[in-house]
Amino acid sequence: MADAPKRTPLYDLHVELGGKMVDFAGWEMPVQYPLGIMGEHKHCRAKAALFDVSHMGQVILKGENVGAKLEALCPQAFSTLKEGKARYGFFTNENGGIMDDLIVSNAGDHFFVVVNASMRHQDIPHMAKYLDGIEVIEIFDRALIAVQGPKAEDVVGNLCPGVRDLKFMETMIGAINGVECRISRLGYTGEDGYEISIPQDGAVEVARAFLADENCEPAGLGARDSLRLEAGLCLYGNDIDNDTSPIEASLIWAIQKRRREEGGFPGAERIQQEIAEGTSRKLVGIRPEGRAPARQGVEVQSEDGKAIGVVTSGGFGPTAGGPVAMGYISTDSTEPGTRVNLMIRGKAQPAEIVSLPFVQQNYKR
Amino acid sequence: MTTYYSEEHEWIAVEGDIATVGITAHAAEQLGEIVYVEQKDGGDTFEKGDEIGVVESVKAASEIYAPVNGEIVEANEALADSPATLNESPEGDGWLYKIKLSNTDQLNDLMDLDAYKAFIA
């Protein structure tokens, strides 16, 4: 029998705000608030939205040469990650597939890692087993809140002015209403914004302080998914998994040059070979021409009816103003502008291969 | 005119052997913002329980199942261009089909408004 879903420190606040609560990866989370997915999504792109992402796994890694040791599990250059900087990465398996994606921050006397809610049960033992001499501490007493959108700098900066000076993928410690938080300028919506790790006892107070700003509305998992999809960001379990390599997933940008050349991470043989020779399929954007959304699992065919791929994430993009999708397509059909058919409920719906993202990313570089 | 309700959250307003079918306000509320409606064409016949359309919200796709046997007389084509009408007026302008009933006895298996209200309570 499954365990009862867990609740984040913000659970009561979600209910108070009218959040529609659903079970997600073993957590009771708001999928939307009364504003609705569409309204929350647009509000995030126009002003700012607050997301509870406390279900994600927060981990502290302590010990000598943490960055170098992490390089044995991930193809990222973490040994050269400077203090105060964060970097996107992923754990790879022996076959070069992706075990999970994560954000790693160098917090000075330790590394701070955030992994997916659905994979924390895997990732934490994985790190504990392979990071020799490193203390792997899973954090259970902190909330994680994302404030995202063009007004996020004001929403957070009005309470903690120092965050205005952070650049994209930088992290700092700052006090918000007297509560000491880890504040990182990053997120997963394609917008500027912050993720803020807060001691659980102060989390509701800090969330309320953000929401007191007229520019900031609460947003749920529904908007989070449509925002990341429009931004062309992969969702673990949909777009990337143990069978997809980072090269197939068009994530080569996240493997730094030295690591591409030197290898020394699980699955390096396949990944280096794919860097040199290419892959037979690639993750690309797909733009349906009509109104019908193409959801995960929809088959993609060439115009002459040959199966050439599958949709891994798809839905309606409120900012794009129509359906958007991503999926794996045979590499010879991935040129932007290539016309394809999406087999939705047995009917061929015309679509076009497009470059990702669907909306411009607005990071503060 | 008498209006009946199904456990699949459809309403069916009957006059003689012609009826108008749509999804209930409760269903529209549960689905959230509707972004796409797929409908059958006029002339298509169906039996109770057959899929006669799909309504998609930002979140997910939901099938519409026929509450009775019949034939589609007219589909509300305006919904193709303005699916949000299903949220704004699910039991009015957001109707899905006009149908011709082929077995009016099946109406006895449906609920009246009070029973439906109790069903969703």
The per-residue pLDDT of chain A, averaged, comes to 97
Q: What is the pLDDT of residue A112?
A: 98
Can you list the residues of chain B whose pLDDT is less than 50?
A: none
- What's the CATH fold of domain A280-360? Elongation Factor Tu (Ef-tu); domain 3 (2.40.30)
Residues 6+ apart with CB under 8 A from A223: A32, A37, A40, A41, A44, A49, A51
**Dist. CA B41–CA A339, nearest whole Å:** 27
**Dist. CA A175–CA A158, nearest whole Å:** 12
pLDDT at A174 exceeding the cut of 60? yes
CATH number of A11-57+141-230: 3.30.300.100, 3.30.1360.120, 2.40.50.140, 3.40.920.10? 3.30.1360.120
Q: Do B61 and A293 touch (CB under 8 A)?
A: yes
Mean pLDDT of A39-67: 98
Which of chain A's residues have a Cβ under 8 Å away from the Cβ of B60? 295
Which residue among A36, A291, A295 sits closest to B32, beta carbon to beta carbon?
A36
**Dist. CA B43–CA B27, nearest whole Å:** 26
Residues 6+ apart with CB under 8 A from A127: A59, A61, A73, A113, A134, A136
pLDDT one-digit tens code per residue, A335-365:
999 999 999 999 999 999 999 999 998 999 8
pLDDT one-digit tens code per residue, A219-229:
999 999 999 99
Enumerate the domain spans of chain B.
Answer: 2-104
As given in the structure block, the two tokens for residue B105 are 């006895």
Q: Compare B32 and A115 and report the one with higher pLDDT.
A: A115
Which residue among A32, A292, A345 sits closest to B32, beta carbon to beta carbon?
A32
Q: Where are the beta strands (DSSP E) in B58-96?
A: 61-65, 70-75
User: Among A51, A363, A46, which residue's Cα sits nearest to residue A215?
Assistant: A46
Q: Do B61 and A295 touch (CB under 8 A)?
A: yes
Which residue among A293, A295, A345 sits closest to B35, beta carbon to beta carbon?
A293
ipTM: 0.86
Residues 6+ apart with CB under 8 A from A318: A37, A38, A41, A42, A226, A230, B58
**Angle, vertex CA A17, rays to CA A2 and CA A314, nearest 5:** 60
- What's the CATH fold of domain B2-104? OB fold (Dihydrolipoamide Acetyltransferase, E2P) (2.40.50)
Q: What is the pLDDT of residue A260?
A: 98
CB contact, 8 Å: A316 with chain B?
yes
A291 to chain B: nearest residue by CA?
B36
User: Helices (H), strands (E): how many in chain A?
Assistant: 9, 19
Mean pLDDT of A126-154: 98
Q: What is the pLDDT of residue A4?
A: 87
Tell me the one-letter amino acid at B88.
E
In b/e form, how buried is each residue of A180-214, taking b as 16+ CB within 10 angstroms?
ebbbbbbbbbbbbbbbbbbeeebbbebbebbbebe
Enumerate the domain spans of chain A.
Answer: 11-57+141-230, 280-360
pLDDT > 90 fraction of chain A, expressed in percent and rounded: 98
**Dist. CA A306–CA A192, nearest whole Å:** 40
As a three-state string, the secondary structure of A238-291 is: CCECCCCCCCCCCCHHHCCHHHHHHCCCCCHHHHHHHHHHCCCEEEEEEEECCC
Asked if A40 and A32 touch (Cβ cutoff 8 Å), the reply is: yes
pLDDT at A1 exceeding the cut of 90? no
Interface contacts A/B by beta carbons within 8 Å: 40
pLDDT one-digit tens code per residue, A312-339:
999 999 999 999 999 999 999 999 999 9
CB contact, 8 Å: A26 with chain B?
no
Q: Where are the alpha helices (DSSP H) in chain A?
A: 11-16, 36-46, 66-70, 120-130, 152-157, 200-211, 221-230, 257-262, 268-277
CB contact, 8 Å: A345 with chain B?
yes
Residue with tokens 């957001």: B94
pLDDT band at A3 (very low <50, low <70, confident <90, very high): confident
As given in the structure block, the two tokens for residue A194 are 């912050």
The count of residues in chain A is 365
pLDDT at A20 exceeding the cut of 90? yes
As given in the structure block, the two tokens for residue A69 are 């040791």
User: Among A302, A275, A270, which residue's Cα sits nearest to residue A286?
Assistant: A302
Asked if B71 and B19 touch (Cβ cutoff 8 Å), the reply is: no
Q: Do A316 and B36 touch (CB under 8 A)?
A: yes
Q: What is the pLDDT of residue A2?
A: 61
